[in-house]
Amino acid sequence: MVAAPTQKITPFSSIRIDKDASTPIYLQIAEAVGSLLASGVLLPGYVLPPERVLCEQFGVSRMTLRQAMSLLDREGLIDSRRGVGTIVRPSRLRKHQQEMRSFSEEIRERGGHPGSRLISVELAIPAPAVRDLFELHEKQRIYEIQRLRLNDGEPLALELARIPERLCPGLERFDLARSSLYEILEQSYGLRPETCNEEISAEIPSSQQRKLLSLPARTAVLVINRKTYMDDGRPLELTRSVFRGDRYSSVVHSVRKNKSILQATSS
Amino acid sequence: MVAAPTQKITPFSSIRIDKDASTPIYLQIAEAVGSLLASGVLLPGYVLPPERVLCEQFGVSRMTLRQAMSLLDREGLIDSRRGVGTIVRPSRLRKHQQEMRSFSEEIRERGGHPGSRLISVELAIPAPAVRDLFELHEKQRIYEIQRLRLNDGEPLALELARIPERLCPGLERFDLARSSLYEILEQSYGLRPETCNEEISAEIPSSQQRKLLSLPARTAVLVINRKTYMDDGRPLELTRSVFRGDRYSSVVHSVRKNKSILQATSS
DNA sequence: CTAGCTGAAATGTCTATACAACTAACAGAT
DNA sequence: ATCTGTTAGTTGTATAGACATTTCAGCTAG
């Protein structure tokens, strides 16, 4: 028997790092390990090799490796415990942030085909509450875009979007029936939503809503009021969507309150 | 003029670090700066001193300081740009994760006084779908706890909580009308919810629901089906809550999709 | 006056090392 | 058998320094 300079074969052995690439090393590692996790090569409960072993395999320093691991930890993919080791977390616990989706994106994710029918576009005088939200002057107007949203050709929601004219003058020239409102805002005006705030409630539909949504009798509607903000904190859009209660439900993913750097503010 | 060993006075000057404390230095810094942000001493847009200056003020190495800053960055409190500097972000953009709240916590946050009236507790045979979720054997039972939830003494929701008997044998002995279910689970059984998944829909109430909730005519209800998981990924609880549509709405905070280490899985 | 260059300044990335704190397992004494 | 100390192995914290990359402003040449 010859003393071989062996290294245990692990799923990590195949990972190759390019130190001269433009993407940082820690990102390369995080992505490589992340795809091992996503592909199911590493199952929940799998114990990762110790950091120092991985450092050697990848040929990087420990701080760099830990930077990669911290990314994976942040997303809830792995769980490191001092004195013990690092394991792969159950996929149910992977903490995907609650993400904004446009109507179209959401429908497509559910496997449907989104559609739209434009009902009206107006330049209106905002109600006082709306004017306050957008911090508008007395005479500034807002676009009010009313659309019927379809799923596989069937009416699913009635949507009223409100955007200040100041942010996107000339918006009415675009084909709002066919194009995504968010795409127009981003590509033609450089306006990009960053966060949003939704209030979800249940209501009995009005007779007009019942007609437009082709609602059967004794059906409730799910009403979602959404405020959208840009990355500088300014409000971008205020939307009220009325969904058919028999065909739509909203899904929310939450995590247990985690220690925050901030004190809990009494709002 | 004498060359003074000056250091510009900043809000950071007052921060003192105790290197021998049991809390790590980077946490001390993060908390100190975090409270400057929370208290409004540093307003959105404020440009922080460069990292190297802060290092010197705190007497720590740059990596340590950056570890503190990365915590603040993760929560969306600050925004660092290479080549430019670091600024305080608008408070609207602070990304508090969507957090789980118990009924009581939520009501209290809204300024109300939560209450509860126990309707029934049963050891029942789970429906097949429920049995599958909890991965139970043929003969294992689940607790079904039905409660009327009150806000300031008024009926607000009808709640049916389902928990496997296996996880918390003897649960019926506790005072479920007065105590929080989550507190009992955590303190007496060591069961701690970690994440949950809610599906929110709108329905027309049944006549029984109308009676129990004292619902006025022509009112819809908001139905929330919640699955709760523990930190090992096992399901803990399945709850169906029926809220008065005229007195309750659910609030959700979302952020724009951020680059993930994982590829988007086509679910 | 403009276009382009240049350099200062800032954050981003990475290394190599050291020690601390914690855990689990083992050996030995009681 | 049980308890206790010890030890090896692991992640957590922290340092000091080096170089890369990006941005912005000011200077310079045209």
Question: What pLDDT score was predicted for residue B7?
Answer: 63
Question: What angle do helix axes A25-39 and A62-74 make, rounded to 10 degrees?
Answer: 50
Average pLDDT on B250-261 reads: 86
Mean pLDDT of chain A: 92
The predicted-structure confidence for A211-243, as pLDDT tens digits, reads as follows 999 999 999 999 999 999 998 889 999 999 999
Lowest mean pLDDT of A253-257, B165-169, B215-219, name the range. A253-257
Instruction: State which residues between 48 and 107 of chain A bring their CB within 7 Å of strand C.
Output: 59-64, 67, 81-84
Question: What pLDDT score was predicted for residue B152?
Answer: 96
- pLDDT band, very low/low/confident/very high, at A6 (cuts 50, 70, 90): low
Average pLDDT on B158-179 reads: 93
- The token pair that represents A171 in the structure block: 């918006």
Q: Which element (helix H / strand E) includes B118?
A: strand B114-124
Q: What is the CA radius of gyration of chain B?
A: 25
Question: What pLDDT score was predicted for residue A178?
Answer: 83
Provide, rounded to the nearest whole percent, the portion of chain B with pLDDT above 90: 78
Q: Identify the CA nearest to B247 among candidates B224, B211, B225, B221.
A: B221
- pLDDT band, very low/low/confident/very high, at A266 (cuts 50, 70, 90): very low
The rounded distance, in Å, linking the Cα atoms of A155 and A158 is 8
Note whether B165 and B142 are within 8 A (CB).
yes
Provide, rounded to the nearest whole percent, the portion of chain A with pLDDT above 70: 96
- Best mutation target among B87, B200, B230, B236 (most A Cβ atoms within 10 Å) is B200
| Chain C nucleotides with an atom closer than 7 Å to a protein C-beta | 9-18, 20-24
- pLDDT band, very low/low/confident/very high, at A263 (cuts 50, 70, 90): low
Whether residue A267 lies within 8 A of chain B, CB to CB, comes out as yes
* Residue B233 clears pLDDT 60, i.e. is over it: yes
The predicted-structure confidence for A120-148, as pLDDT tens digits, reads as follows 999 999 999 999 999 999 899 999 999 99
Q: Is the pTM of this model over 0.85?
A: yes
* Residue B3 clears pLDDT 90, i.e. is over it: no
The predicted-structure confidence for A200-217, as pLDDT tens digits, reads as follows 999 999 999 999 999 999
Alpha-carbon torsion B219, A98, B99, B28, what sign?
Answer: negative
Which runs of E-coded beta strand occur in chain A?
78-81, 85-88, 114-124, 142-151, 154-164, 193-203, 221-230, 235-244, 250-255
Of these ranges, A197-201, B100-104, B180-184, B253-257, the one predicted with the greatest mean pLDDT is A197-201
Selected residue with higher pLDDT from A246 and B9:
A246
Whether residue A249 lies within 8 A of chain B, CB to CB, comes out as yes
Closest CA to the C1' of C11: that residue is B82
Q: Nearest-CA distance from A94 to chain B in Å?
A: 9
Question: What pLDDT score was predicted for residue A7?
Answer: 63
* Residue B9 clears pLDDT 90, i.e. is over it: no
Phi, psi of A2, rounded to the nearest 5 degrees: -100, 135
